[in-house]
Structure 1
Amino acid sequence: MATDTKTDKASKPSKIEVLKEASQQLRGTIAEELAASEDHFTGDALQLLKFHGSYQQDNRDERGQKNEDGSRKGKSYSCMVRTRIPGGKVTAAQFLAELDLCEKYGNGTVRVTTRQGFQLHGVLKDNIKETIRAINDSQLTTFCACGDVERNVMCCPAPHKHSPVHDQMQALCDAIAEHLKPKTTSYYDIWLTDEAGEKTNATAQFQPVEEPIYGKTYLPRKFKTCVTLPEDNCVDIHSNDLGFLAIVEGDEIVGYNVLVGGGMGATPSAKKTFPYLAKPMAFVTPEQAVDVAEAVVKVQRDFGNRSDRKIARLKYLIADWGVEKFKTKVEEYYGQALPDPRPVVVTDVDDHLGWHEQGDGKWFVGINVPSGRIQDLEEARYKTGLRTILEKYGMETRLTALQSVLLCDIEPKDRDDITAILVAHGITAAEEMTPFRRLAIACPAWPTCGLAITESERALPSLIEEFEAELARQDLTDERISLHMTGCPNGCARPYTPDIGLVGKAAGEKYTLYLGGNAEGTRLAFIYEDMVPSTEIVPKLSPLFALFKEQRNAGESFGDFCDRLGQEELAAVAAT
Structure 2
Amino acid sequence: MTIIEPDFKTSPEKYSEEEKVKLRAKGLKEDSLGIYNSLRDFSREDIEKEISIIVKSFGIYLEFHRDKMKSAGLKDWIYMIRVAIPGGGPITGEQWRVIDEISNKYTISDAYTGNPQPSIKLTTRQDVQFHHIKKRDLVNVIREIAESKLITLNGCGDNVRNTIACPISKYFETFNSNEIALRIAKYFRLPSQLYVQVFEINPEFLKNEDSFEYADNLLPRKFKIAIAGVIKKGNEYVIDNCVEVRANDIGIVPIVESGKVISYQIYVGGGMGENNSYPSFSALALPLGTVSEGDLIKVLDSIVSIYQEWGDRRNRHWARFKYLVYKMGLEWLREKIREYSGIELGPIKEVKFSKELHLGWTRIGNKLAYGIFVENGRLIDNENGKIKSMIRYIMDNFNIKLYITPNQHLVLAEINDSEKELIEKVLKEFGYGYRNGKPYSTLRIRSAACVGFPTCKLSFTDSERFLPKLIDELERRGWANVPVSIGISGCVAQCSRPASHPISWIGSGYELYMLKIGGGEDSLGEPLIDWEENAIYLYQVPSNRIADVTEALLELYEMNKDISNDAGTVFKTLGNKKIIEWLKNHHKTKDLMRPYKFDRKIDGYREYHLLLEKRLNEVSKYR
How do residues 475-554 of structure 1 correspond to structure 2 at under 5 angstroms?
A: 477-507=480-510, 509-518=511-520, 520=521, 522-528=522-528, 529-553=538-562
On the 8 A contact 1:84/1:142 being kept in 2, the answer is: yes
Which residue of structure 1 lines up, in the alignment, with residue 611 of structure 2? Answer: none
State yes or no: 1:57 paired with 2:79. no
Deviations 1:34-54 (A, max 9, x none): 232222211211101101001
How do residues 329-408 of structure 1 correspond to structure 2 at under 5 angstroms?
A: 329-345=336-352, 347-359=353-365, 361-408=366-413
Q: Which amino acid aligns with 1:110?
A: I
On the 8 A contact 1:5/1:317 being kept in 2, the answer is: no
Which residue of structure 1 lines up, in the alignment, with residue 8 of structure 2? Answer: 6
In 2, Cα distance between the equivalents of 1:392 and 1:210? Answer: 38
For the residue of structure 2 that corresponds to 1:523, the secondary structure is: coil
In 1, Cα distance between the equivalents of 2:399 and 2:147? Answer: 18
Q: CA deviation at 1:538?
A: 2.2
Q: Which amino acid aligns with 2:93?
A: A
C-alpha change, 1:422 and 1:513, in structure 2 (3 Å) is same
C-alpha change, 1:558 and 1:64, in structure 2 (3 Å) is closer
State yes or no: 1:91 paired with 2:92. yes
C-alpha change, 1:485 and 1:103, in structure 2 (3 Å) is same
In 2, Cα distance between the equivalents of 1:280 and 1:483? Answer: 27
C-alpha change, 1:238 and 1:493, in structure 2 (3 Å) is same
How do residues 123-162 of structure 1 correspond to structure 2 at under 5 angstroms?
A: 123-158=133-168, 161-162=171-172
On the 8 A contact 2:186/2:211 being kept in 1, the answer is: no
On the 8 A contact 2:170/2:178 being kept in 1, the answer is: no
Q: CA deviation at 1:300?
A: 0.1
Q: Which amino acid aligns with 1:56?
A: L
Which residue of structure 2 lines up, in the alignment, with residue 463 of structure 1? Answer: 470
State yes or no: 1:572 paired with 2:581. yes
Q: Which runs of 5+ in 1 are unaligned?
A: 67-71, 200-208
My pick for the range that moved more, 363-372 or 212-221, is 212-221
My pick for the range that moved more, 552-561 or 86-95, is 552-561
Deviations 1:338-376 (A, max 9, x none): 11221224x3200000011111x2111000011111110
For the residue of structure 2 that corresponds to 1:253, the secondary structure is: strand
Q: Which amino acid aligns with 2:26?
A: Q
Q: Which runs of 5+ in 2 are unaligned?
A: 109-117, 204-208, 230-237, 529-537, 586-623
How do residues 234-313 of structure 1 correspond to structure 2 at under 5 angstroms?
A: 234-271=242-279, 273-313=280-320
Deviations 1:54-102 (A, max 9, x none): 1011111111545xxxxx6x42111100000000001122122111001
Deviations 1:403-456 (A, max 9, x none): 001011111111111111111111107995333211211111111111111100
C-alpha change, 1:220 and 1:76, in structure 2 (3 Å) is same
Q: CA deviation at 1:212?
A: 5.5
Deviations 1:288-331 (A, max 9, x none): 11111101000000000011111101001011101111111112
Which residue of structure 2 lines up, in the alignment, with residue 185 of structure 1? Answer: 193
Q: Which amino acid aligns with 1:155?
A: A
In 2, Cα distance between the equivalents of 1:309 and 1:14? Answer: 8
In 2, Cα distance between the equivalents of 1:132 and 1:4? Answer: 37
My pick for the range that moved more, 107-116 or 20-29, is 20-29
Q: CA deviation at 1:574?
A: 2.2
Q: Which amino acid aligns with 1:423?
A: K
Q: CA deviation at 1:552?
A: 2.7
State yes or no: 1:46 paired with 2:52. yes
Q: Which amino acid aligns with 2:254?
A: A
C-alpha change, 1:141 and 1:8, in structure 2 (3 Å) is closer
For the residue of structure 2 that corresponds to 1:187, the secondary structure is: helix
C-alpha change, 1:533 and 1:282, in structure 2 (3 Å) is same
On the 8 A contact 2:385/2:434 being kept in 1, the answer is: no
Match of 2:26 among 24, 27, 51: 24
C-alpha change, 1:177 and 1:10, in structure 2 (3 Å) is closer
C-alpha change, 1:397 and 1:193, in structure 2 (3 Å) is closer
How do residues 64-75 of structure 1 correspond to structure 2 at under 5 angstroms?
A: 65-66=71-72, 74-75=74-75
The count of residues paired between Structure 1 and Structure 2 equals 545
Q: Which amino acid aligns with 1:449?
A: C
C-alpha change, 1:76 and 1:245, in structure 2 (3 Å) is same
On the 8 A contact 1:11/1:307 being kept in 2, the answer is: no
Q: Normalization by structure 2: what TM-score? A: 0.84
Q: Normalization by structure 1: what TM-score? A: 0.91
For the residue of structure 2 that corresponds to 1:62, the secondary structure is: helix
Which residue of structure 2 lines up, in the alignment, with residue 233 of structure 1? Answer: 241
On the 8 A contact 1:29/1:44 being kept in 2, the answer is: no
On the 8 A contact 2:187/2:212 being kept in 1, the answer is: no
In 1, Cα distance between the equivalents of 2:332 and 2:275? Answer: 27
Q: CA deviation at 1:9?
A: 3.0
For the residue of structure 1 that corresponds to 2:411, the secondary structure is: strand
In 1, Cα distance between the equivalents of 2:393 and 2:503? Answer: 36
On the 8 A contact 1:511/1:533 being kept in 2, the answer is: yes
My pick for the range that moved more, 55-64 or 365-374, is 55-64
C-alpha change, 1:193 and 1:420, in structure 2 (3 Å) is closer
Identity of aligned residues (%): 29
On the 8 A contact 2:6/2:315 being kept in 1, the answer is: no
C-alpha change, 1:297 and 1:336, in structure 2 (3 Å) is same
In 2, Cα distance between the equivalents of 1:2 and 1:401? Answer: 34
In 1, Cα distance between the equivalents of 2:13 and 2:570? Answer: 46
On the 8 A contact 1:184/1:211 being kept in 2, the answer is: no
Q: CA deviation at 1:382?
A: 0.7
